[in-house]
Structure 1
Amino acid sequence: MNDTKCTDEDEHFMLGTADSIEVLIYFLCFAVGGPLNVIALRRSLRAFRKHRAKSPILLLRINLNLADLCTLFVYVPKQIIWMLTYQWYGGEVLCRVCSFFSTFSFYANSFVITCIAIDRVCGAYNISSLNAHRRAYLRCRRLLVVGWAAAFTLSLPQAAIFRVFKPYSEKDFRQCTPLWTTFLYEKIEELKDVNLTELERTEIQRSISDMQQLEKLYNINHLLFVFWIPCIIIVISYLTVLFILQGRLKEALSPRSTNPGAIVVSTIHKAKQHAKRQATWIILAYLTFWSPYNVLAVLNMTRTLSDHHVFAITLSFLNAAICANPIANPLIYGVLKDDSKP
């Protein structure tokens, strides 16, 4: 009995400590990332208004800032409040609204970064075109419209799935939880009825299995669109950029080339070096902050992990780590550099 008691106390202490550290991570993301992105957004908007020829790079940066601010000022505060109270006090409407925007912010972030990657490919392909700048701005606008619309559409199910649930009739305890959690809780409670016939018990177990499959399909779809598909597009895009620039460099160095060799070689070489550096940092940052959580989530869905308790704590920490990405983004994309050089 003493061993059991000691284990329980250690478990409660670990959970309490883990929660405190996680809240601290969210708070630091909010305290550092919030002002950084607000300053970056103001500088980008000022530079955008100042340039007569609208810069596609600035347009992309502004949208990335907006996506990051949505994460920092909607999702992060909601997580902090929930972890400090472990209850939902916001009511049904706010539950659905917050669930929508929490998911929307992550989709938007991934899709805007994907738009930037696709724009880099088109920019590298048209590096020698005089009309490329005008076309690039229109192309970025179209890409961003598609990206934001996709984020909005894919987030809509959250408003239908999440709802306020009160599991205990004798306690005033509420949670904003997905419908399958509510469904499974109610069905498991039904299974406790000793008067159930074997047929009724089998039917309940079948409905539980069906709901678990639905939850799994939804989570797979979410992981694919929020990370894996954007990640594949980003990696392919930047590899394509490097191949295009390598081909242009070889063409410029060719004796049969009619281009002004030295200038073209210098321009393409600089563009190639810049693309290499930016591609490296973008991919590293995205994979560093996002892939641990998404890889672990896939392992959990395939039941590769055996210790659910350790998994739950680790996954929660990795989810908080994703919120540090908005701190890195303004620095990677150079939002804080000289406004006159977009």
Structure 2
Amino acid sequence: EPPSTTPPEWGCAWSPPEEKGEQPLRLPTFSPAAQVRVGVTFALFALSAGCNLAVLRAVGGRGSGRRPHIRLLLRHLAAADLLVSVVVMPLDAVWNITLQWRAGDLACRLLMYLRLLAMYASAFVTVVISLDRQAAILRPLAIARARARNRAMLRTAWILSAGLAVPQLFLFHTITLRPPHNFTQCTTRGSFPRAWHETLYNMVGFACLFLLPLLIMVCCYARILLEISRRMGSGLFSSQDASLRCSRNNIPRARLRMLRMSLVIVSSFILCWTPYYLLGLWHWFCPRAMEERISPALTHILFIFGLFNACLDPITYGLFTIPLRGGWGCPCRHGPPAQPPSPATGSFRCSASSLPARRGVQGVRSSRGAARDTSCHSSSL
């Protein structure tokens, strides 16, 4: 989220009071709550960086011999979350330790830009994955164009992330208090002519980082579940023909897999960021009331909970979307390499033994038992 759109405790983002203000100046301190926040943030940094590096290694390996388009999406998501891990988390932890900004004005502007770019990229790539899942279910025959479509959407997501973060380069700057304080901070103080200008900027960041991605994700997965329910209820897969048993048996599996994944995706996004953004909304419109009723420790907890989403993303998409074991070269899978999914369905494949035997063809079993020997293997949608 944009540093200027968060409660004052985020990154010790202190700014001097208004000239007409009557409140005494309060400098940030390295409180016990801040110490816990630093320790947990460093732990999340190690966990998130490790998980996302593992995902990048898995999806970028050559163990599977093929590159489904979902691997491209997962690679970009891991890259975005890794950017969050190496920019947002260490910066926040170190800033809470030093209390003031010690890296200079140029680093202030650049790091604030990279921090917001990372947050935008993580949210937008998540939206791209939701749109891809929707297209895979609603338009399965267009799977041949999925890779080109995903590349275009990913390119748009990164361009938007870089463009929307540009204001950070001009809004943030360093301010230094002369003796007796000698205190320097990276802040947006004095960058907005009117107070409502800052509120508007905060609301735009809130809409782009949380509200719009949430609405798009919910709509996509709602359409997915409705479409699968419609197909299951229409009797399209109720044929008793042995050659259709694969689709009839695998559609429920695909439905359950998509249901579980959609619930985890949407739930993790909502649970991780909703409390913190609601607190941010309260601070933007009623800052004094929030500071009087909410302890700084709670803001620390909610921010850490939001960062945990960067750890959940690689776990969620790795477990529910593609088999990561192939990327690690896991020896638990033997036999011939997996065949790519059919362009017509993109969701399942059947072994030759599941096809009805043809009369007069040598080497093929013609008994009824051969027709009943159905072997289906689901692949990523």
Q: TM-score, normalised by structure 1?
A: 0.80
The alpha carbon displacement at 1:255 in A equals 7.0
Which sits farther off after the overlay, 221-230 or 281-290? Answer: 281-290
Matched residue, 1:324: 308
Cα distance in 2, alignment partners of residues 274 and 255 from structure 1: 20
Matched residue, 1:285: 268
Matched residue, 2:363: none
Structure 2: where are the runs of 5+ without partners? 1-25, 328-378
Cα distance in 1, alignment partners of residues 182 and 27 from structure 2: 23
Matched residue, 2:151: 141
Inter-CA distance 226–183: structure 2 relative to 1 (3 Å threshold): closer
Which sits farther off after the overlay, 311-320 or 281-290? Answer: 311-320
**What is the SS of the residue equivalent to 2:227?**
helix
Cα distance in 2, alignment partners of residues 256 and 133 from structure 1: 25
* Higher helix proportion (structure 1 or 2): 1
Structure 1: where are the runs of 5+ without partners? 1-10, 185-209
**Are 2:134 and 2:224, in contact at CA under 8 Å, matched by a contact in 1?**
yes
Q: CA-to-partner distance for each residue in 1:183-228, whole Å, 9 max, x for gaps?
A: 69xxxxxxxxxxxxxxxxxxxxxxxxx5211110000000000011
Cα distance in 2, alignment partners of residues 329 and 26 from structure 1: 17
Matched residue, 2:162: 152
Cα distance in 2, alignment partners of residues 13 and 79 from structure 1: 14
Which sits farther off after the overlay, 292-301 or 309-318? Answer: 309-318
Matched residue, 1:59: 72
Q: CA-to-partner distance for each residue in 1:112-163, whole Å, 9 max, x for gaps?
A: 1111111110000133x2xx43211111111111111111111111111101
Inter-CA distance 257–109: structure 2 relative to 1 (3 Å threshold): farther
Inter-CA distance 27–68: structure 2 relative to 1 (3 Å threshold): same
Matched residue, 1:244: 227
Matched residue, 2:138: 125
Q: CA-to-partner distance for each residue in 1:93-128, whole Å, 9 max, x for gaps?
A: 11111000111111111111111111110000133x
Matched residue, 2:49: 34
Matched residue, 1:44: 59
Cα distance in 2, alignment partners of residues 119 and 263 from structure 1: 24
- 1:92 and 2:102 are equivalent in the alignment: no
- 1:215 and 2:229 are equivalent in the alignment: no
Letter in 2 for 1:18: A
Q: CA-to-partner distance for each residue in 1:265-316, whole Å, 9 max, x for gaps?
A: 2232221111100001111111111111112212333439824155372334
Matched residue, 2:245: 262
Cα distance in 1, alignment partners of residues 295 and 101 from structure 2: 20
**What is the SS of the residue equivalent to 2:186?**
strand
Match runs of 1:91-110 below 5 Å: 91-110=104-123
**Are 1:248 and 1:268, in contact at CA under 8 Å, matched by a contact in 2?**
no
Matched residue, 2:358: none
**Are 1:36 and 1:330, in contact at CA under 8 Å, matched by a contact in 2?**
yes
Cα distance in 2, alignment partners of residues 140 and 310 from structure 1: 46
**Are 1:27 and 1:80, in contact at CA under 8 Å, matched by a contact in 2?**
yes
Cα distance in 1, alignment partners of residues 187 and 120 from structure 2: 20
**Are 1:112 and 1:144, in contact at CA under 8 Å, matched by a contact in 2?**
yes
Cα distance in 2, alignment partners of residues 312 and 74 from structure 1: 26
**What is the SS of the residue equivalent to 2:289?**
coil
How many residues matched?
Answer: 300
Which runs of at least 4 in structure 1 moved beyond 6 Å after TM superposition? 11-15, 254-259
Quick one: which of 39, 49, 71 aligns to 1:24?
A: 39
**Are 2:64 and 2:326, in contact at CA under 8 Å, matched by a contact in 1?**
no
Q: CA RMSD in A?
A: 2.8
